[in-house]
Amino acid sequence: MTTPAPPEPSHPGPTPPEPSQPAPTTSGGGATRTQCPRDADLPHLVAAALARWGLRGADVVGVRRSYNTVVHVEVGHRHLALRVAPRVGVHAPGSDEAERTLLDHLAAAGAAVPRVHPTIDGAASTTVDGPHGRVTCMLLDWVPGSEVPRPATPGDAADLGRLSATLHDAAPTAPGPPSGVLDGRRVLTFHVPDRLGEAGDHAPLLLAARASAQRALDDLWSSAPEPPRLLHGDLTPANVVRSGDRLVPIDFQDALRGHPEQDVAITLVRLARDDAADGGERCAAFRAGYEAVRPWPLTPDVAPHLAAARSVQLANLGLVLRNPGLAEHLDLHARALRPYVERSGAAAADR
């Protein structure tokens, strides 16, 4: 799809979708598909949204689409990012306020993170009429810098590890489930229906993987020596910006109440796919970077279960959104999960 201006290299929202998630669509074909504003609708949508912040006369510098549409706007000499969520949401009610609270906490702890700009009413977000119905908009700092290349270099992976550890040190504890964040006690963390049974030939495999991974999650949560924390929940090369000599995290929309090993596993799933494709050492570099800041939290016995949980979670999300590329999306995760299910079944038989 063409955009009003060339995509910008950095922003506080997600970059184009990774192969682990089916791409969003812009029109028709099913009530549950994500729907992004068309180029022709953007000027009106941007003006209507920014009025809720008391801002007028904004110039659209660039647009980036993935799950959300992120519009880089310039108002006077201020560079901001308007994040427009699709009509079909996958997060719990209150996620925008939870994201703002988490970013405020991390900033107070000294972390370099984008901040949420409240509306003139003090809210973290607002709703406006979009081309397919009402959409939710949030205004954040624009993060200047450049994209991390994908696949990431080992150096970028090491920096990502250091950033992950730094965020974990700064993360607030969450003894009780706060509203608006994803619940790490469950394999299916997103606020969407369970559609695994609709995966056709892949359904038995996905259901078996979910059951095994859920047992491991139950064990992790019952035996963890520390209380859970509020974590990024999707810290991959797609969700950081190279700003000067450091990486800045963006897109905390998937904020997760969980344990650091769960957050680390999410990153490793992405890096491991790239390592498998070209024989790289990104996972090792990520661990080395992490261990330069704090002890490595993920043990070999837990790692496969958390990786499987991530694959099952993304497969279910694809079944809910039903965007183009769904068959390939399910095939990808089924290939990753088949050895896991076979090993889990053998281990159960041995017991």
Question: What pLDDT, in 10s, does the model give residues 5-42?
Answer: 223 333 343 333 343 444 433 322 333 344 455 666 78
Q: Which two tokens stand for residue 330?
A: 């399910």
Helix H or strand E segment including 147: strand 146-147
**In b/e form, how buried is each residue of 185-205, taking b as 16+ CB within 10 angstroms?**
bebbbbebeebbeebeebeeb
Can you name the residues that pair with 306 across neighbouring β-strands? Answer: none
Q: Taking a C-beta distance cutoff of 8 angstroms, is the pair 73, 139 a contact? A: no
Tell me which of 11-25, 62-76, 220-234, 282-296 is least confident: 11-25
Tell me which of 128-137, 166-175, 193-202, 252-261 is least confident: 128-137
Find where tokens 């330069």 sit.
292
Q: How far is CA 251 from CA 103, 129, 219, 220, 326, in A?
A: 10, 23, 29, 26, 24
pLDDT at 37 (0 to 100): 57
Top pLDDT among 4 and 72 is at: 72
Residue 23 class from Cβ within 10 Å (0-12 exposed, 13-18 middle, 19+ buried)?
Answer: middle
**In b/e form, how buried is each residue of 317-339, taking b as 16+ CB within 10 angstroms?**
bbbbbbbeeeeebbebbbebbee
User: Could you read off the pLDDT of 117-174 as tens digits, one per residue?
Assistant: 999 999 999 999 877 678 899 999 999 999 999 899 999 999 999 999 999 999 999 9
Cα angle 300, 158, 332 (rounded to 5 degrees) comes to 60
Q: Taking a C-beta distance cutoff of 8 angstroms, is the pair 103, 114 a contact? A: yes
CA distance 300 to 307: 11
CA distance 303 to 224: 14
Q: How far is CA 116 from CA 217, 251, 252, in A?
A: 32, 11, 11
Can you name the residues that pair with 229 across neighbouring β-strands? Answer: 173, 258
SS3 130: strand
| Confidence label for 68 from pLDDT (cuts 50, 70 and 90) | confident
Top pLDDT among 303 and 13 is at: 303
Q: Please compute the mean of the pLDDT values over residues 40-68 and round it to a whole number.
A: 88
Report the mean per-residue pLDDT for the chain.
87
252 pLDDT above the threshold of 50: yes
Report the candidate in 129, 121, 135 with the shortest Cα–Cα distance to residue 52: 121
Q: Taking a C-beta distance cutoff of 8 angstroms, is the pair 79, 61 a contact? A: yes
CA distance 36 to 84: 8
pLDDT at 39 (0 to 100): 63
